[in-house]
């Protein structure tokens, strides 16, 4: 058997097993660590910060938010203490937040504008970071909000790992096909009388 | 025939022996799974109190438990059993008939036994780390590599001892046992050194251990950046590099002795 066929074949089988391990990792479900839920009404042109936690790439923040009005939802990679210290006040309005975010655009972990509806999202950072859930009401009316946030724990970022597995397994199979075919042919020849 | 061809012949033959199907595949599977399962970022009171460098170190160290032991099993098997059975069965004598110096033969064998295992281990683990935490691994790749360097020096040192024992005994079975005993002995000795250092209030025991197992000095170096840890010894970064360099020099010396014995003294 030609050496390059063996080399590619073994490389392919290694890729398949790596892909299978990644697939297995992606199938391990995440665990819910702590949940916080509540109802609030965000005053007009006002900003409120809620859940504050420390996240790692193995921990995520799963949020469900329902708002009757227009609401900007942020997950900021900073503690609320830092946010209020930067503003220099105990209260935050929309302009303060906009100024803070303009000065620190890298701290926006996730952003979504809710318009009379419900959203579900799971945020997982790529580094160890603080995470603060912030509601900003840009409208001139009170916005009632129902929220639920759970801290989750996982082994690895599921989607990313599954995508890698979905690439690795077929590529590995293609690479190993000539080697596996030749191995099978050899076995058949040996068995035949 | 040039020198490259016989070297490749022996290397290919060693690869075939060391990584028979599905050994390589099983180890690749275990490395991948182990990297994700054992990864831990530590516990944080506030992320800003711990540097990202320390996080990179903690994360990399967390992976070096069972996956490192699996890697060690593979290299011990390759060095002791692979080379030992070749000596026992007289395959090495066949290699001596090749137009290649003895050191070339040993290099081909060790490249297969240790080099390929190391490439597989590091490439899988570092890639998996990158998937898990790109914002920690990318900017602190030097810390990640330094942690691997510190943790791999002792296994390589034991592999060097195993090479010498295998060459002296010309069989591998007993050598594997010697290697595993030496590997676990270091865990016990480190524990004793830690106790002695704290009892005598002197870091001397830790410094002696760090010469052959520099992960001790690296752990001390990164722990100084963690709050509420009472430090007995706070080494500088240059000290860390010195200890890692010394441990690799000792490992290299053992391999040099192995090469010397194989080239000059080994009579078959």
Which residues in chain B touch residue A86, judged by CB atoms under 8 angstroms apart?
A: none
Q: What is the pLDDT of residue B48?
A: 64
pLDDT tens digits for range A20-67: 999 999 999 999 988 999 999 999 999 998 888 999 999 999 999 999
Tell me which residue in A10, A54, A126 faces B135 most closely, judged by beta carbons.
Answer: A126
Grade residue A88 by pLDDT with cuts at 50, 70 and 90: confident
Q: How many CA atoms lie within 13 A of A158 on its CB side?
A: 13
Mean pLDDT, residues B49-59: 85
CB-based contact, B211 to chain A, within 8 Å = no
* CA–CA separation, A158 and B214 (whole Å): 35
CB-based contact, A45 to chain B, within 8 Å = no
Range of the domain at B35: 4-265
Q: What is the pLDDT of residue B47?
A: 65
Task: Check pLDDT > 80 for residue B193.
Answer: yes
Q: What is the pLDDT of residue B46?
A: 66
Task: Check pLDDT > 70 for residue B155.
Answer: yes
Residue A160: CB partners within 8 Å, gap ≥ 6?
B131
Mean residue pLDDT of chain B comes to 89
A-B Cβ pairs (cutoff 8 Å, strict) = 84
Grade residue B227 by pLDDT with cuts at 50, 70 and 90: very low
Mean pLDDT, residues B69-76: 92
The percentage of chain B sitting over the pLDDT mark of 70, rounded to a whole number, equals 93
Tell me which residue in B30, B32, B134 faces A22 most closely, judged by beta carbons.
Answer: B32
pLDDT tens digits for range B198-219: 788 888 888 999 999 999 899 8
What backbone phi and psi angles, to 5 degrees, belong to B101? -65, 155
Q: What is the pLDDT of residue B231?
A: 65
Shortest Cα distance, chain B CAs vs residue A59, angstroms: 10
- Measured between CA atoms, the residue of chain A closest to residue B26 is A17
How many Å separate Cα A171 from the centre of its chain? 26
Shortest Cα distance, chain B CAs vs residue A150, angstroms: 18
Q: What is the pLDDT of residue A169?
A: 97
Instruction: Choose from A104-118, B174-188, B215-229 the range with maximum mean pLDDT.
Output: A104-118
* CA–CA separation, B28 and B24 (whole Å): 6
Shortest Cα distance, chain A CAs vs residue B29, angstroms: 5
CB-based contact, B26 to chain A, within 8 Å = yes
Mean pLDDT, residues A115-132: 92
* CA–CA separation, B211 and B245 (whole Å): 9
CB-based contact, B5 to chain A, within 8 Å = no
Grade residue A191 by pLDDT with cuts at 50, 70 and 90: confident
pLDDT tens digits for range B111-130: 999 999 999 999 999 999 99
Task: Check pLDDT > 90 for residue B226.
Answer: no
- Three-class secondary structure assignment of A13-60: HHHHHHHHHHHHHHHCCCEEEEEEEEEEEECCCEEEEEEEEEECCCEE
Answer whether B41 sits within 8 Å of A24, measured CB to CB.
no
- Measured between CA atoms, the residue of chain B closest to residue A126 is B133
Shortest Cα distance, chain B CAs vs residue A166, angstroms: 15
Provide the number of structural domains found in chain B.
Answer: 1
Chain B interface mutation, best of A56, A78, A151, A183, highest count of B Cβ atoms under 10 Å: A56
CB-based contact, B25 to chain A, within 8 Å = yes
Grade residue B228 by pLDDT with cuts at 50, 70 and 90: very low
Grade residue B265 by pLDDT with cuts at 50, 70 and 90: confident
Q: What is the pLDDT of residue B141?
A: 95
Residues 55-74 of A with CB under 8 A from B: 56-58
Q: What is the pLDDT of residue B229?
A: 40
Least confident range from B5-9, B197-201, B225-229, B250-254: namely B225-229
Residues 118-177 of B with CB under 8 A from A: 120, 124, 131-136
DSSP state of B180: H
Q: What is the pLDDT of residue B3?
A: 63
Answer whether A54 sits within 8 Å of B47, measured CB to CB.
yes
Shortest Cα distance, chain B CAs vs residue A140, angstroms: 36
Which residues in chain A touch residue B30, judged by CB atoms under 8 angstroms apart?
A: 21
Instruction: Choose from A2-6, B96-100, B189-193, B241-245 the range with maximum mean pLDDT.
Output: B241-245
Q: What burial letters (b/e) apply to A112-134, b meaning 16+ CB within 10 Å? A: eebeeeeeeeebbbbbbbbbbbb
């Amino acid at each position: 058997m030609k050496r390059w066929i063996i080399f590619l074949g073994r490389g392919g089988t290694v890729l398949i097993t790596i892909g299978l391990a990644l697939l297995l990792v992606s199938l391990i479900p995440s665990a819910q660590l702590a949940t916080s839920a509540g109802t609030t009404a965000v005053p007009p042109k006002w900003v409120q910060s809620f859940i504050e936690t420390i996240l790692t790439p193995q921990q995520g923040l799963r949020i469900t938010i329902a708002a009757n009005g227009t609401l900007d939802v942020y997950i900021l990679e900073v503690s609320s203490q830092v946010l209020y210290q930067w503003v220099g006040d105990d209260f935050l309005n929309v302009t303060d937040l906009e100024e803070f975010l303009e000065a620190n655009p890298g701290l926006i972990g996730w952003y979504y504008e809710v318009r009379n509806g419900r959203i579900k999202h799971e945020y997982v950072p790529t580094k160890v970071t603080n995470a603060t859930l912030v509601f900003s009401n840009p409208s001139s009316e009170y916005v009632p909000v129902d929220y639920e946030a759970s801290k989750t724990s996982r082994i690895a970022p599921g989607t990313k790992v599954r995508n890698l597995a979905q690439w690795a397994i077929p590529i590995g199979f293609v690479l190993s096909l000539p080697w596996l075919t030749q191995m099978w042919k050899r076995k058949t020849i040996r068995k035949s009388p | 025939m040039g020198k490259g061809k016989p070297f490749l012949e022996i290397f290919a033959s060693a690869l075939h022996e060391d990584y028979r199907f599905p050994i390589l595949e099983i180890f690749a599977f275990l490395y991948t799974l182990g990297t994700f399962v054992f990864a831990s970022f530590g516990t944080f009171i506030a992320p800003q109190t711990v540097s990202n460098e320390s996080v990179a170190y903690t994360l990399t160290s967390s992976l070096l438990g069972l996956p490192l032991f699996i890697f060690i099993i593979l290299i011990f098997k390759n060095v002791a059993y692979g080379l030992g059975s070749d000596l026992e069965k007289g395959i090495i004598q066949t290699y001596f008939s090749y137009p290649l110096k003895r050191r070339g033969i040993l290099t081909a064998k060790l490249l297969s036994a240790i080099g390929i295992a190391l490439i597989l281990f590091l490439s899988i683990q570092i890639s998996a780390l990158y998937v898990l935490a790109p914002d920690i691994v990318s900017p602190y790749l030097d810390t990640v590599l330094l942690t691997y360097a510190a943790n791999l020096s002792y296994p390589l040192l034991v592999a060097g001892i195993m090479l010498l024992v295998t060459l002296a005994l010309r069989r591998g079975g007993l050598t594997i046992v010697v290697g595993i005993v030496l590997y676990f002995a270091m865990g016990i000795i480190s524990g004793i050194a830690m106790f002695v250092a704290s009892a005598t209030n002197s870091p001397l025991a830790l410094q002696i251990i760090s010469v052959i197992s520099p992960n001790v000095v690296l752990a001390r170096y990164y722990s100084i950046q963690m709050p509420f840890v009472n430090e007995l010894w706070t080494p500088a970064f240059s000290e860390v590099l010195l200890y890692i360099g010394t441990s690799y020099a000792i490992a290299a010396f053992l391999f040099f002795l192995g090469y010397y014995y194989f080239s000059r003294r080994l009579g078959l």
